Amino acid sequence: MEFEKEGLIQREIDIATYLLKHFSLKKIAGELAVSQIIIIAHVRNMMQKLHAKNMEDLIRLLKEKQQKK
């Protein structure tokens, strides 16, 4: 994915990939072997960087950016 242009770090890109596969935050945390709090912090940062209002908006923006690659 071409999210580096948006200022996303590699871990946020990894999380975006799981979000686009409809993984829950809990499941993403398990897959990446980190706490759910860490995942929430990364998601919050992604929302700020992409100017998303909520999770639904974030996933929509991620899908749009994925299709533009």
For helices 25-32 and 10-20, angle between their N-to-C axes, nearest 10 degrees: 130
Cβ burial of 15 (10 Å; 0-12, 13-18, 19+) is buried
Q: Mean pLDDT in each 10-residue stretch from start to end of the chain (69 residues)? A: 77 96 97 97 96 96 84
Please tell me the pTM assigned to this model.
0.89
Question: Could you tell me the two tokens for 15?
Answer: 């999380």
For position 48, what pLDDT does the model report?
96
For position 44, what pLDDT does the model report?
97
For position 7, what pLDDT does the model report?
87
Per-residue burial over 44-56, b if 16 or more Cβ lie within 10 Å, else e, is ebbbebbebeeee
> Mind listing the domains of the chain with CATH numbers?
3-67 (1.10.10.10)
> For the chain, where are the alpha helices, taking DSSP H only?
10-20, 25-32, 36-50, 55-67
